[in-house]
């Protein structure tokens, strides 16, 4: 089951994000180390407490256990002529991968957003071929892009 985060989810969301950050940073450190920048729990609080935040945080649960999360950002797109939900992070714990939970969570997200959003978009790094295959299987079309980032 996919559900929006509430303030009481802070610690489980924080732990999952730390797990994800460690996993991603070991894979390819093109990003500054997010763990060294501070506690993600503070960002969680800011997002949850700001009723106008464009960020949308979800937890993925199965039989009462939190097994993953989706961190997304909502914005109005001129090209899409409507709202776009950008999936910034999508993480399912290792022991739950390959069992259909990610597919189920993505379908639930799509169903939640239908009617309110024009599209869902995301990025998958070349170093993560499993994610690329997953999204292609779920009928997400890919586009070759160059991603640029400058830390300020």
pLDDT score for 64: 93
pLDDT in the model for residue 145: 86
What are the domain boundaries of the chain? 2-137
Whether CATH 3.40.630.30 fits 2-137: yes
Could you tell me the pTM of the whole model?
0.90
Q: Let me know if 89 is exposed, middle or buried by CB neighbors in 10 A (0-12, 13-18, 19+).
A: middle
- Successive 10-residue mean pLDDT values, the chain, 152 residues: 98 94 67 67 95 97 97 98 97 96 98 97 90 96 85 81
Residue 85: strand pairing partners: 74, 120
For residue 33, the model assigns a pLDDT of 59
């Amino acid at each position: 089951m996919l559900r929006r985060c509430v303030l009481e989810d802070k610690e489980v969301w924080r732990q999952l994000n730390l797990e994800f950050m460690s996993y991603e940073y070991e894979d390819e450190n093109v990003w500054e180390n997010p763990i060294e920048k501070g506690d993600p729990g503070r960002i969680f609080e800011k997002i949850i407490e700001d009723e106008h935040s464009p960020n949308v945080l979800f937890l993925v649960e199965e039989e009462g256990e939190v097994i993953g999360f989706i961190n997304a950002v909502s914005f109005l797109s001129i090209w899409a002529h409507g709202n776009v939900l950008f999936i910034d992070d999508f993480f399912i714990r290792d022991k739950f991968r390959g069992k259909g939970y990610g597919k189920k969570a993505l379908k639930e997200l799509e169903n939640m957003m239908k009617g309110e959003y024009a599209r869902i978009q995301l990025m998958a790094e070349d170093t993560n071929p499993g994610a690329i295959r997953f999204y292609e299987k779920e009928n997400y079309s890919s586009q070759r892009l160059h991603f640029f980032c400058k830390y300020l």
